Structure 1
């Protein structure tokens, strides 16, 4: 009896301590972007000053700091070579915040000169405001079963692709949505007969590992040259266990039928499975031409009312010519 009582007491105390620690823990996470280019900045030093916790942003500019006790007057400091140091009071922190770093004058001038020399351009540009989660932001979710393709039309030909940027939708209120996910990125030509996505020129598997809203996919080492001025970028969903999301719901089921023919229904639980990732869309007065792949493997044109504009997936490409 004594041993059993002691064991139960010990388990209770451990659970109590664990719960207290969990309640007291504070999490700061978000993404650091270049204010000039609005792209993720890797290897930024992020410091919680008074708590004395330091971390670095990853390749997507994502950071995560967990602290058990945070002073109300503490400050997050973001610093990196070539950028002006930024301070953010913890009282001003919002969930999964975008932190914009301003390049120093010398760096900014150097970048501008370099861009003019290399002739770098970006098509179908979007901003952090388009994919953020501020109240009233008219976003939409792109979560398909098969694939989506977006047309890019440039003024130039013989394009050397540098990078692709994407907006990802993260639903923090639904804990069962996985953070890690895999999908395929395709570069495709234009079918000369139908104008729809044609042959695949290049494919890259993308593995997302954190909660970044802004996704940058580096293509600079892949040497992808587009000979024409029009091409598609396609996103293909992978129906694999890693990407599964279980959606629970209640539905009505026939329970009994009375003699007078009246049916009795009961509530039963049911579920369906959908797949990550979920991308972010935003409103544009003239959305890009885009297609969705059907269950039969055909490309179907996405239509919108030209009087009101429509939603467009936050997907841009940077190229050199």
Structure 2
């Protein structure tokens, strides 16, 4: 993990270090209403964090640090902002996206049984993103699973996510891997790149889960119609203290029982999504810290899919 800057997402317990200056950020819309959990990417440092539920965050950077912020929030246009050379308060106003949600004609389908895509037996999930992958620091912003249906116009009624749930104790160090808060994002397929394309639901679907390995999210109240035959269900990782997990980074993979005060400890963020070695093609895609989608490969000799299933009604 690059440490060109020291980032502090929580304003509690921070202190000023020599040669550093404090910068506070407030992300709002054009009417100055605060935007919770906006994503801020420091492009040169290749580091990212989310604001808090009031749209605020505080971080420190070196006096000589020159960087540019990419600010993203669901339902708003991305905005690139240069870090000011002076001052310590920065208010960022985002513009709401002008294009309407993508729609598809809903077909009459009385008494049609729902269909589960990528159905998963919870006892068959043994691998998780970020766990034991050699040389990988899983600092991805989103995890997206690709699905294909026969025709556009089906209703998306629920999404089920399988994730890592553990509680470890080693020499007085507690690693609580149960709690997690994340968001569901939905994308069409970009036919040119085969990556997630346009978002077709601007509703903020936020999930707070503290105990479950298998999390089923009921989407029926959102009345979501899938506008294309191929689409993606993505998990947006919120890089906030609530989800933060301190780990030991080494050449053999990530260890969750890192002793306190270890120099090569790093931080990654919940939820840790399950992985499946099945399917004819890799359906797993990740959004990198550079704001680029790339296909994710975990199994060297098999295709990789995320343990994410979707229920649709034709």
Instruction: Deviation per CA, 1:106-154: give whole Å up to 9, x if none.
Output: xxxxxxxxx99223111111112223xxxxxx42335543111111111
Q: Which runs of 5+ in 2 are unaligned?
A: 1-108, 131-137, 251-260
CA contact (8 A) 1:130 1:139 kept: no
CA contact (8 A) 2:165 2:177 kept: no
Q: Do the aligned partners of residues 299 and 225 (structure 1) sit closer, same or farther apart at CA in structure 2, a change above 3 Å counting?
A: same
CA contact (8 A) 2:142 2:234 kept: yes
Map 1:1-321 to 2 at 5 A: 117-131=111-125, 138-142=126-130, 144-174=139-169, 175-202=174-201, 203-247=203-247, 269-270=262-263, 271-303=265-297, 308-321=301-314
State the distance in 2 between where 1:305 and 1:278 align.
16
Structure 2 length-normalised TM: 0.52
Q: Do the aligned partners of residues 303 and 269 (structure 1) sit closer, same or farther apart at CA in structure 2, a change above 3 Å counting?
A: closer
Equivalent residue of 1:310, what SS? coil
CA contact (8 A) 1:141 1:280 kept: yes
Q: How many residues align?
A: 184
Structure 1 length-normalised TM: 0.51
Q: Do the aligned partners of residues 117 and 187 (structure 1) sit closer, same or farther apart at CA in structure 2, a change above 3 Å counting?
A: same
Q: Do the aligned partners of residues 145 and 122 (structure 1) sit closer, same or farther apart at CA in structure 2, a change above 3 Å counting?
A: same
Q: How far does residue 285 in structure 1 lie from its aligned partner after superposition?
A: 4.9
CA contact (8 A) 1:150 1:288 kept: no
More helix by share: 1
State the distance in 1 between where 2:223 and 2:244 align.
33
Instruction: Deviation per CA, 1:55-77: give whole Å up to 9, x if none.
Output: xxxxxxxxxxxxxxxxxxxxxxx
Q: How far does residue 305 in structure 1 lie from its aligned partner after superposition?
A: 7.6
State the distance in 1 between where 2:248 and 2:156 align.
41
- Greater shift, 310-319 or 278-287, is seen at 278-287
Equivalent residue number for residue 57 of structure 1: none
Q: Do the aligned partners of residues 234 and 283 (structure 1) sit closer, same or farther apart at CA in structure 2, a change above 3 Å counting?
A: same
Answer with 1 or 2: which has the greater Rg: 1
State the distance in 2 between where 1:189 and 1:206 align.
20
Q: Which runs of 5+ in 1 are unaligned?
A: 1-114, 132-137, 251-267
CA contact (8 A) 1:140 1:311 kept: no
Equivalent residue of 1:215, what SS? strand
